[in-house]
Structure 1
Amino acid sequence: MDKHRIYTTSVASVYPHYVTKAEKKGRTKKEVDTIICWLTGYSQEELNTHLEKKTDFETFFTEAPHLNPSRTLIKGVVCGVRVENIEEPIMREIRYLDKLIDELARGKAMEKILRKS
């Protein structure tokens, strides 16, 4: 089976859409960055480097320093598919990120988005 085209899409090309989606709902770029860093373990500097290098999604998640173990608590539907049921690991990570950005745009508190008790 061929890989989905999102794997070869650069994170930098989608990132502005994440920020725009958040800002339209009164949230900030800093909150988007916080979510991405929480999910992947990248520092802000490392995230900025990947955006500058136009790293593709597959590489971005494959090379992530520390995928947050609490990400498995992310549940729900993105693009008509339950994220917890996605079997392909990289696609599941991409959809986790989509789901977190959706939660941010819907006004959910950061503590809940970042799955803090």
Structure 2
Amino acid sequence: MTKHRIFSVSVASVYPHYVAKAEKKGRTKAEVDEIIRWLTGHSQQTFDDQLAKAVNFEDFFAQAPGMNPSRVLITGVVCGVRVEDVEEPTMREIRYLDKLIDELAKGKSMEKILRQ
């Protein structure tokens, strides 16, 4: 089975779109970064390093310092696909991130987004 092409796309190339989506709805780049750090366990420095290296999504999630165990609480639909039903592990991580950014853009509080 061939891998989905999003796996080979650099996180750095998509990241500005996440930030733009959030800022368009009055949210901030700092909030986007906080979500990504919460999900992956990256510090701001290691996240910035991953962006600078143009690491692809597959490697970004595979090399994450510590995926947040509470991410399994993320449910709902992204692009017509129910996040909790995605079987491929890397694709599920990508969908988790997409869902969190969607929640940010929809005005949810950071406390609720970060499942606290």
In the alignment, what sits opposite 2:42? Answer: 42
Cα distance between partner residues in 1 of 2:91 and 2:32: 19
Q: Give the alignment's TM-score, normalised by structure 1.
A: 0.99
TM-superposed deviation, 1:48: 0.3
Using the aligned pairs only, state the percent identity: 72
Aligned to 2:5: 5
Partners of 2:13 and 2:65 lie apart in 1 by 21
- The 4+ residue runs of structure 1 with deviation greater than 6 A are none
Q: CA deviation at 1:21?
A: 0.1
1:17-96 matches, within 5 Å, as 17-96=17-96
Displacement after TM superposition at 1:56 (Å): 0.2
Unaligned runs of 5+ in 1: none
User: Structure 2: where are the runs of 5+ without partners?
Assistant: none
2:93 and 2:113 map into 1 onto residues whose CA distance is 15
1:14-69 CA distance string (max 9 Å, x none): 00000000000000000000000000000000000000100000000000110000
Partners of 1:59 and 1:46 in 2: how far apart?
13
How many aligned positions are there?
A: 116
